[in-house]
C-alpha cells in the first residue's frame, strides 16, 4: 500500500521524511510515479521514501485540498495522512495528537444568534472521521492523544476565540489549517484519511516567544519513526 502524506510546508515534509532515513526530494517526480523517471509536474514539493510520497501542498484548506486532489489523481494510494505542527488545547509543546475527527471549525455563517456551521444551513459537511482502528493503533504506537482536530482558515489569536472553539467542540485537542482540506479531497477519491499533529504552541493569544517549532518538528520525526510499521501493516476493513 502506498501512503500519501500531505504537509503544508517543506520543513514539515522534511521532518516526516527524516523518520524514514531515505527520503529524497525529486523535482521531476510525479506523486505515485514509482521511481520518478516519468516526466512530472516540475515541482520540488515532493519527497519520496519507500512506500511513502510526502508533499508540501501549501498553507490553508484550499491549497491542502488542491495538492491532495492532484496527487490522488496522479497516483494510487491506500491511505492519505495530513501531518504537521499545530496549536494545542491543553497540550504542551512537543506533544503528539491524532485526530479521531477532522472538523472544519469556521465553515458556515455568522448569524445574530452566533455561528452556524454549513451543515446547519442545510448542505455540505464539516466533519470527517478517520478509521477508528487506525487511530487507536497510532495512539498506542506513538503515545499520541486522540481527539478532534479543528481546521481553521484563520488561526486563533485570542483567549476568547479559543474558549469559544472549546465550547463548540469540547473534544478538540488541536487547531491547524489543512486537515479538513486534505480529508475532503481524500473523501472525494474514496481513500481513508488520518491526521497527525505535533504541538508547537498553545491555541490562544499569539506569543511567538513561547512557540516551540523545533520541538514540534522533532516530535513529528519521532512519531513517524514509530508509525511506519503501523501504517504498513494496516488493512482497510
> What is the arithmetic mean of pLDDT over 58-77?
94
CB 51 within 8 A of CB 228: no
Could you read off the pLDDT of 13-45 as tens digits, one per residue?
999 999 987 544 444 444 444 333 222 333 446
User: How crowded is the C-beta side of 224, counted as CA atoms within 13 Å?
Assistant: 32
Is the pLDDT higher at 183 or at 75?
183
How much is the pLDDT for 22? Answer: 55
Residue 124 predicted with pLDDT over 60: yes
Residue 185 predicted with pLDDT over 70: yes
Distance in angstroms (rounded) separating the CA atoms of residues 96 and 74 = 31
Neighbours of 111 (CB within 10 A): 10
CATH for 64: 3.40.50.1580
Helical residues (DSSP H) of the chain, grouped into ranges? 10-20, 61-74, 132-142, 159-168, 179-189, 213-233
Q: Is the dihedral of CA 33, 63, 134, 92 positive or negative?
A: positive
C-alpha cell at 32: 505515485
Q: In the chain, how many domains are there? A: 1
How much is the pLDDT for 151? Answer: 97
| Rounded (to 5) percent helix, strand, coil in the chain | 35, 30, 35
Share of the chain above pLDDT 90, in %: 69
Residue 224 predicted with pLDDT over 70: yes
Residue 67 predicted with pLDDT over 70: yes
User: How crowded is the C-beta side of 176, counted as CA atoms within 13 Å?
Assistant: 32
Could you read off the pLDDT of 207-217 as tens digits, one per residue?
888 889 999 99
pLDDT band at 66 (very low <50, low <70, confident <90, very high): very high
Instruction: Write out the residue range of the structural domain in which residue 134 sits.
Output: 3-233
> What is the arithmetic mean of pLDDT over 62-85?
95
Residue 46 predicted with pLDDT over 80: no
CB 87 within 8 A of CB 150: no
Amino acid at each position: 500500500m502506498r501512503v500519501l502524506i500531505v504537509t503544508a510546508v517543506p520543513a514539515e515534509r522534511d521532518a516526516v521524511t527524516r523518520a524514514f532515513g531515505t527520503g529524497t526530494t525529486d523535482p521531476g517526480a510525479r506523486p505515485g510515479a514509482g521511481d520518478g523517471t516519468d516526466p512530472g509536474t516540475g515541482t520540488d514539493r515532493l519527497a519520496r521514501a519507500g512506500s511513502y510520497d510526502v508533499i508540501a501542498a501549501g498553507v490553508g484548506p484550499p491549497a491542502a485540498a488542491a495538492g491532495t486532489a492532484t496527487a490522488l489523481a496522479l497516483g494510487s494510494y491506500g491511505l492519505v495522512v495530513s501531518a504537521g505542527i499545530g496549536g494545542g488545547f491543553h497540550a504542551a509543546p512537543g506533544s503528539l495528537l491524532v485526530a479521531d475527527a477532522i472538523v472544519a471549525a469556521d465553515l458556515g455563517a455568522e448569524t445574530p444568534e452566533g455561528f452556524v456551521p454549513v451543515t446547519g444551513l442545510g448542505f455540505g459537511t464539516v466533519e470527517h472521521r478517520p478509521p477508528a482502528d487506525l487511530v487507536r493503533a497510532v495512539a498506542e504506537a506513538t503515545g499520541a492523544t486522540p481527539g478532534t482536530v479543528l481546521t481553521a482558515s484563520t488561526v486563533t489569536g485570542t483567549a476568547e476565540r479559543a474558549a469559544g472553539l472549546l465550547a463548540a467542540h469540547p473534544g478538540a485537542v488541536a487547531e491547524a489549517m489543512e486537515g479538513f482540506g486534505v480529508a475532503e479531497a481524500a473523501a472525494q477519491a474514496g481513500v481513508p484519511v488520518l491526521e497527525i499533529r505535533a504541538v508547537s504552541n498553545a491555541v490562544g493569544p499569539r506569543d511567538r516567544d513561547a512557540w516551540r517549532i523545533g520541538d514540534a518538528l522533532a516530535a513529528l520525526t519521532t512519531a513517524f519513526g514509530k508509525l511506519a510499521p503501523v501504517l504498513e501493516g494496516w488493512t482497510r476493513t
